[in-house]
Amino acid sequence: MSEINQLINQIHKEAQREPFPIDSSIYQAAGLDPTLPILYAGNLKSSLCFFARDLGKDEVHAQQPLYGAAGRLVREGLYRAIYGSEPSNRNDLQSILDHVLLTNTVPYKPPGNKAYLQAVKKRFRPFLEQLLVFYWQGDRIMTLGNEAFKWFSPYAPKGTLNQFFKESDRYRNSIKITLSAEDDEGKRQERSVTLLPLPHPSPLNQQYYAQFPAMLQQRLKSQFR
**Complete domains list, the chain, with CATH:** 3-220 (3.40.470.10)
Residue 198 carries which DSSP code?
B
Q: What is the pLDDT of residues 130-183, one digit of tens each?
A: 999 999 999 999 999 999 999 999 999 999 999 999 999 999 999 999 999 998
Cα 30 from chain centroid? Answer: 21
Three-class secondary structure of residue 162 per DSSP: helix
Interhelix angle 118-130/3-17, rounded to 10 degrees, is 160
Mean pLDDT in residue range 176-193: 94
What does the pLDDT read at residue 152?
98
Q: How far is 117 from 4, CA to CA, in rounded Å?
A: 26
**Is residue 1's pLDDT more than 70?**
no
How sure is the predictor about 204, in pLDDT bands with cuts at 50, 70 and 90? confident
Instruction: Please list the alpha-helical segments (H only) found in the chain.
Output: 3-17, 24-29, 57-62, 69-83, 90-94, 118-130, 146-150, 160-166, 212-220
What does the pLDDT read at residue 225?
62
Burial class (CB in 10 A: 0-12, 13-18, 19+), 6: exposed
Please name which of 86, 80, 78, 33 lies closest in space to residue 60, comparing C-alpha atoms: 33
Three-class secondary structure of residue 142 per DSSP: strand
Q: What is the pLDDT of residues 135-150, one digit of tens each?
A: 999 999 999 999 999 9
Q: What is the pLDDT of residues 78-124, one digit of tens each?
A: 999 999 999 988 889 999 999 999 999 999 999 988 999 999 999 99
pTM (predicted TM-score): 0.96
